Amino acid sequence: MLSILLAGALLFLYLLLTSLYSWYRLRHIPGPFWAGISKLWLFKHTWDGSMYLTSAEACFKHGSLIRIGPNELITSDPNVLRYILSVRSPYHRADWYEAIRIDPDHDNVLSERDEERHAMLRTKMSPGYAGKDVPNLEESLDNVIHKLVSLIETNYLSTDTEYRPIDFARKAQYLTLDIIGDIGFGRAFGYLDEDKDMFSYISTTEATIPMIILVGAFPWLAKVVQSPLLKAFLPKDTDAYGLGKIMGLAKQVVTERFQPDAKPHMDMLGSFIRHGLSQEDAESETMVQILAGSDTTASATRATMLHLITNPRVLSKLLAELKANQISDPITDSEARRLPYLQAVIKEGLRIHPPVTGLMLKDVPPTGDTINGYFVPGGTKLGYCAFGLFWDPKLWGSDARVFRPERWLEGSPEEIRQKEANLELVFGHGRWQCLGKSIAQIELNKIFVQLLRNFEFSIVDPTKPWNSFNAGVFIVSDMWMRVTKRDPKI
């Protein structure tokens, strides 16, 4: 009995001393008091989905570098972020990224921490993501967007005598998933054709993503979850539904492409293979395309559309610009880029509601670093505060929380370039910039024009436009809209 009490006392003393040491080494860096004592503060706000806003408010209160855990800091300073993410930066991915490993035995371009292998993966996939090796990219996007337009016309048009509401949150996800399937490996999944959550993929991933973000905040959990003991409970390519089912479909397509008699395909997977990506890597990266590519673009589409239709002044100006210019149907990417107010709307949508809010922690180099006048010891983890950056009144003005696209058309050319450079951080930067940036921009250039030229949208319940939960990305449901035919069509 005495030995048990002694062991307990020694364990308590050890935990107390390590906690005091962790607090002491970063005591000079401001932040919420309880965040420096233990990880309970980080756990609470990660668990309840409030981290993206709570951390931003902490930045506004304490400064652009704050402490959110015993060994975790975040910054909302765009210059610091560019430095951390630059090609020659001494910073490296922290173990936060291990939570994004879809296959416990194999890293992907998002989870890979080895710099050389990460660079190799990017090199082999960059031409495909840039669209250079996908000659029918725009045509594929147009075809899938047309399916959404047709679906709305067939099933969801309301009239004076008939009310047919649409959950735009789900339809936006159907759209982006089918786009990824089509341009990624030549097979749309059929979400828009079937008008349902195929294989329950969306519902199961929405239940899984919050746990991934929690595991990222507590990396030791990744080792537990991805251990051989629990591997049997993780999604498998033999599953009949959910993430596992999509993994199986992706593996099937990749296997077909690596057959000796397989014909070349001019899609993204075909590009990856032509540039030397292995079969194992191709299976892993195809899943990353589906997960990362669909969720983020759907999030940007939902948020921008919500802000558009709830701001009549902005919507009126955008519609006037579309009417005043001769644009194709469907609009081309080059035409969209020449419409200044459309571009301002898209930029403002990304700014006011950035799609990715994960911490994306990096390891401070062993020798330490000085950030904004604070010395940060080596081994500390330093991450990203999305809303702290994109809602900062010092960068965007006193109306930073207002959806006002005109801010992108105001100021000197240099001031506009600086705002655009800061917004680029929504896609990351340097060697960790989002590979799908170019494709996402083309999608956004087309989606709003094609929807707004055909339909008028209104939120069914302005007091509760959607259900939204933040888990590094936004999980949105019940975005109910009433849609009517625009007459005349633009």
Question: Alpha-carbon dihedral of residues 124, 130, 133, 138, nearest 10 degrees?
Answer: 150
Q: How many residues does the chain have?
A: 490
Question: Which of 238, 239, 241, 288 lies closest to 121 in space, CA to CA?
Answer: 288
CB distance 287 to 246 below 8 Å: yes
CB distance 442 to 130 below 8 Å: no
For tokens 């337009």, what's the residue?
149
Q: Is 434 annotated as a binding residue?
A: yes
User: Measured between alpha carbons, how far is 2 from 465 in angstroms, rounded to an integer?
Assistant: 61
Per the annotation, binding residues for heme are: 434
Per the annotation, binding residues are: 434
